[in-house]
């Protein structure tokens, strides 16, 4: 089975091209001042803002806000879970728990928990 790309053959290079490739360094790391110049140029052009330190007050305010939102959600969830909907008894229909009792085997002492 032949792949889309032909395999690379080392003999495809001329002697001059091979010498040029061998003269290249394996890894070329930029000079350290390049990073400084790049950051300065980006800031001068308005593409990069200077880094700001986040104050303790901002962090404390964000933590307080997150705690309030979490607490409010927990209280609303607890209140919703405790709320009972009124049940309507309709004539001719047995309540749901009575139907479950009729179908269940009451001689067994094993209880099963069903999670929804």
Answering whether pTM is above 0.85, one says: no
Would you kindly state where each structural domain of the chain is located, as residue ranges?
A: 12-82
pLDDT-derived band at 82 (thresholds 50, 70, 90) equals confident
Residue keyed to tokens 């200077």: 50
Task: Tell whether the model's pLDDT for residue 75 goes beyond 90.
Answer: yes
Task: Tell whether the model's pLDDT for residue 1 goes beyond 50.
Answer: no
Determine the longest span between alpha carbons in the chain, in angstroms. Answer: 99
Tens of pLDDT, residues 24-59:
877 777 888 998 999 899 989 988 887 778 899 999
């Amino acid at each position: 089975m032949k792949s889309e790309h032909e395999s690379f053959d080392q003999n495809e290079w001329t002697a001059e091209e091979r010498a040029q490739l061998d003269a290249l360094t394996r890894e070329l790391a930029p000079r350290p001042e390049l990073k400084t110049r790049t950051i300065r140029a980006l800031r001068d052009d308005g593409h990069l803002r200077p880094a700001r330190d986040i104050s303790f007050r901002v962090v404390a305010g964000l933590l307080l806000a997150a705690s309030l939102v979490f607490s409010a959600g927990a209280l609303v969830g607890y209140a919703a879970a405790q709320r009972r909907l009124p049940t309507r008894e309709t004539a001719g229909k047995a309540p749901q728990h009575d139907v479950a009792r009729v179908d269940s085997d009451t001689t067994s002492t094993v209880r099963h928990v069903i999670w929804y």
